[in-house]
Structure formats: C-alpha cells, structure tokens
Amino acid sequence: MDAVDYSEAQREHLEAEGDTAYGTSYPMATCKDVENAIRAYGRAPADKRATLRAAIVRRRAELGCTMPLPETWHLEAD
C-alpha cells in the first residue's frame, strides 16, 4: 500500500496547509495519500465520513489525481 508514516510535526504542517481531512487525520500530500484515504474511508468514524469524502474529492482535484472515486460516492451525491 506504500503508506507514508508522517510525523506529528508533518501532520500539523499538512493540517495548517489544508491538506488533511480533519485535524491531523488523513494527511493527503500526494495522490498516493489520496488513494490510501479512499481505501481507509470505511474505517473513519461514521460522523466524520462526509467530511472525509469532501476532503478526498477536493484534494484529488487539487493534486490532479486520476484514480476513480468509489461508485457509491457518485450515487450518494445525486
């Protein structure tokens, strides 16, 4: 999965830049991070999933990532 272990300082920096989903959770500095966040989506607390999904969609667009989003996300948005 090529997960990157970010230090707490790195996570705080990414949070300050707006490159995390919420707090220091789900850092998304690269397209691989976005892909990992998509895979980890189901492990997020239920009350944070909408925030995480919005952050993933935003960062995917900002970074120009091309991986597909889960089909169910398109259905939920309709």
Check residues 68 and 21 and name the one with the higher pLDDT: 68
Contact assessment for residue 32 and residue 23, using Cβ atoms and an 8 Å cutoff = no
Residues forming a β-bridge with 25: 22
> What pLDDT sits at residue 49?
93
pLDDT of the residue at 1: 41
Name which of 44, 53, 60 is nearest 77 in CA terms: 53
Q: Which pLDDT value is given to residue 45?
A: 93
> Collapsing DSSP states into helix, strand and coil, what is residue 22?
strand
Region 61-78 average pLDDT: 83
- pLDDT (tens digit per residue) in 7-64: 999 999 999 998 888 887 899 999 999 999 999 999 999 999 999 999 999 999 999 9
Contact 41, 52 (CB under 8 A): yes
